Structure 1
Amino acid sequence: MNKVPMTAAGFETLKEELRWRQQDERPRIIEAISEARAHGDLSENAEYHSAKEAQSLNEGRVNELEDLIARAEVIDISKLSGDKIKFGATVKLVDEETEEEKTYQIVGDQEADVKMGRISISSPIARALIGKEVGETIEVNAPGGPRGYEVVEVQFI
């Protein structure tokens, strides 16, 4: 069974989504199915089929969340330190062409959100960063072609 690395915040988010799906969403869907059944003929009842599909999607996500939570390896970032980039590090980079600064935190696959500055440990840029230190450069094959970045800061917050 492969462990899934994640931060404590990401783990709490998954647990909260599981709680919501089991305690709020599941009863709402069951109620919608009951209501649609009361309308009679199920073969041409769009509300019934929609509610059953929603139930299927919800139960699939519940199973996925239970699996992720069971396999979670929660990493406490506050206890990490050092100069080398690893899981949980917040890294400030400078684009070598545009001089634009970008800051990313390396997190688990489930909690990645580029708009929030969190990139997945399995993303190409994170894989290129692992093991590097301040002052080193990396090259990443981005969709628009190879991009070069210099590591200017590494911290664990």
Structure 2
Amino acid sequence: MEKVPMTASGEQALKVELELLLKRRPLISQAIAEARELGDLKENAEYHAAREEQGICEAQIRDIEYKLSVAQVIDVSKMDNTGKVIFGTTVTLLDMDTDKEVKYQIVGDDEANIKLGKISVSSPIARGLIGKMDGDEVVISTPGGDKDLEIIAVDYI
């Protein structure tokens, strides 16, 4: 089984979500039992809704348990700051064309959320940055065209 990289905060978020789902399990079972008492199951909307909710909940639990089982948790805060861009680091970039600064954390595919400044390790920008050093200038091919970026800072937080 191939391990999938994940940040420590990503692992913690999955564990919290799993805990919430496991607490919901008995409530759903109780809703199914109460709906059964209402009579004919063929035309019982409450029963069918509770069963559907149970299926969704169980699928989410299996998905999270699988992700946690294949996760290779990488905590960059415990690594020496060498200035090199690696998985989990937060990189501050200067767009040489627009003079705008952007900050991204390189995370696993499931953790990526551009609104929160988290980009997937498999994204074009992250692939272009991995292995580079603080102060390097890189040209990254993106779907929107080439980006000329300078690495201003690499944080191991």
- Report the TM-score when normalising by structure 1: 0.89
Map residues 67-146 of structure 1 onto 2, 5 A cutoff.
Answer: 67-80=66-79, 81-133=81-133, 134-142=135-143, 144-146=144-146
Map residues 5-20 of structure 1 onto 2, 5 A cutoff.
Answer: 5-20=5-20
Counterpart of 2:4 in structure 1 is 4
The answer as to 2:54 corresponding to 1:52 is no
**Structure 1 residue ranges, 4+ long, deviating more than 6 angstroms after superposition:** none
Identity %: 50
Q: How many residues align?
A: 155
Asked if 1 retains the 8 angstrom alpha-carbon contact of 2:106 and 2:119, the reply is yes
Counterpart of 2:61 in structure 1 is 62
| Gap runs ≥5 in structure 1 | none
CA shift at 1:58, angstroms?
0.8
Find the aligned partners of 1:82 and 1:113 in 2 and give their Cα distance. Answer: 26
- Report the TM-score when normalising by structure 2: 0.89
Partner AA of 1:45 in structure 2: N
CA shift at 1:62, angstroms?
0.6
Asked if 1 retains the 8 angstrom alpha-carbon contact of 2:92 and 2:153, the reply is yes
CA shift at 1:153, angstroms?
1.4
| Gap runs ≥5 in structure 2 | none
Partner AA of 2:12 in structure 1: E
Counterpart of 1:147 in structure 2 is 147
Q: Let me know the Cα RMSD of the aligned residues.
A: 1.6
Find the aligned partners of 1:82 and 1:26 in 2 and give their Cα distance. Answer: 46
SS at the partner of 1:109?
coil
Partner AA of 2:10 in structure 1: G
